[in-house]
Structure 1
Amino acid sequence: MKSVLTPECKTVILINGIPASGKSTIARQISETFGLPILTIDGIKEPFMACFTDIDRSFNRQLGCAAYKVIWSVVEQSPASCVWLIDAWFGFQPREMLQQLVQQAGVERVLEVWNHISPELAVSRYAERLQHRQPGHPGEEYLPELALLAKRAEPMGLGAVFRVDQQNPVESEEVSKWIERQIAGNK
């Protein structure tokens, strides 16, 4: 049975974390619990990636930046009472850019589910996905960079943050209850 969120203002729930940190799994669970739409960078850019050949890292990043802008354009055009789940690694752009896009989109409440992951687990998960990823995503050469990223990545902190430790089994019910409390607490 779905729970219903009734916010009094435009709200975004950032499902944040580095690549392979479990964002999409958490986003799907929250979406199913509350019946919320999910916007993802990969969901927007991969149909475009399928139209091109020889996508290098630079072009992949350009597509990611364009998808990021599309996400915030969609949020901006939505009614004031909408709640959006946004599944992305937000650290690939400056925090100030995110603040500006949130403001331009008329978002009044930002919640963040931060997916913390160890370098070893992130590298292991990413490596497992390599054979299933669409061409154009970084390959095996990205693994050392991902390990370093896992050591220094932090949440954006534009609003309340729920931290998920991906080293332990994720309790999606805890995340959902936290979201309900955050939204109900602001009425």
Structure 2
Amino acid sequence: MKTAILVNGLPASGKTTVSRHLSRARTWPLLTLDSVKEPFFDAVGVGDREHNRALGRAAMAALWAVVADGPDGAVFVLDAWFGVVTRERLAELIAGAGVGRVLEVWCHAPGEVLAARYVARAGRRHPGHPGPDYAPELARRAGEVSPLRLGPVLEVDSSRAVDLAAIETWIDAARA
């Protein structure tokens, strides 16, 4: 049975810090939405928000196609804002990939923290992503989103120091 660890949350919520740690500490493959999406931007161009969303949905399908090709028993760390697809579509992708266990690490922070982080890193991000003008929308959405709850969930408030070892311990217990 394959296991998918979804490191989920809005942009600037700390997903990359958590997912990179888990991948390196456990030598689990790390699949990130941006690692798939950004080459799509380079190949087909940068467009408006709907173009960005369409590429996000395509990148999400590509992530799960890679998981589908993985061996039984593999553990994958997937770093994404899973809100780019509906919960129903995500459930289809998970089932189609042969994943039998889903664990979710829900990264979150107050909206003003997310907005400030997003603006601070905007100049270092691929130009296909929304620019700093997305920050107010991101701050608003922070109060509207929640974990997927397709399996056990660990909520991580990244506005405080994140205990990465505690996340590993939770994953070990949830996998047992």
Structure 1 and Structure 2 fold alike (TM over 0.5): yes
- Counterpart pick for 2:93 among 95, 101, 106: 101
The Cα offsets for residues 60-81 of structure 1, whole Å up to 9 and x where unpaired, read as 1111111000011111121111
For the residue of structure 2 that corresponds to 1:29, the secondary structure is helix
Deviation digits for residues 126-170 of structure 1 (CA, Å, limit 9, x no counterpart): 000111111121012211210111111100000011110112100
Q: Which amino acid aligns with 2:109?
A: I
The aligned residue for residue 14 of structure 2 is 22
Q: Provide structure 2 residue ranges, at least 5 long, that are not aligned to the other structure.
A: none
- 1:37 maps onto 2:29 in alignment: yes
Consecutive aligned runs of 4 or more in structure 1 exceeding 4 Å deviation: none
Query: Quick one: distance in 2 between partners of 1:167 and 1:53?
Result: 34
- Alignment map for 1:1-187 (pairs within 5 Å): 9-183=1-175, 185=176
Report the secondary structure of 1:100's partner residue.
Answer: helix
Q: Provide the rounded CA distance (Å) in 2 between the counterparts of 1:12 and 1:46.
A: 22
Q: Structure 1-normalised TM-score?
A: 0.90
Structure 2 residue matching 1:115: 3-state secondary structure? strand
Unaligned runs of 5+ in 1: 1-8
Aligned-CA RMSD value: 1.1
1:57–1:136 contact (8 Å) kept in structure 2 = no
Offset at residue 57 of structure 1 (A)? 1.5
What is the TM-score with the length of structure 2 in the denominator?
0.96
Inter-partner Cα distance in structure 1 for 2:132 and 2:120: 10
C-alpha change, 1:160 and 1:139, in structure 2 (3 Å) is same
SS class of match (1:158)? coil
Q: Which has the larger radius of gyration?
A: 1
- Is residue 56–residue 84 contact of structure 2 (8 Å, CA) maintained in 1? no
Q: Partners of 1:97 and 1:136 in 2: how far apart? A: 24
Identity %: 45
